[in-house]
Structure 1
Amino acid sequence: MNIYGDMSLSKYQFIVIVLMFFSSLSYAENITVKISKLGCHKDTNVCFAYIDLGRPIETNCTRNDGSIRWDGMNDNNAASIMAFLLASQAQDKKVTFGGAGETCFMDFPSFRWVHTN
Structure 2
Amino acid sequence: MAKNNKMIGLAATAALLVVAVVAGTYPSWKSTPVVSGEYTGSAKGMGGDVTVTLTIEDNHITDVTAEGKDETKGLGDKAVAKLAAAMKEGATVDVETVSGATISSNATIEAAKAALTSAGLKAEDLK
Q: With structure 1 as the length reference, what TM-score do the two structures score?
A: 0.30
Q: Flag the structure with higher strand content.
A: 1
Q: Flag the structure with higher helix content.
A: 2
Q: With structure 2 as the length reference, what TM-score do the two structures score?
A: 0.29
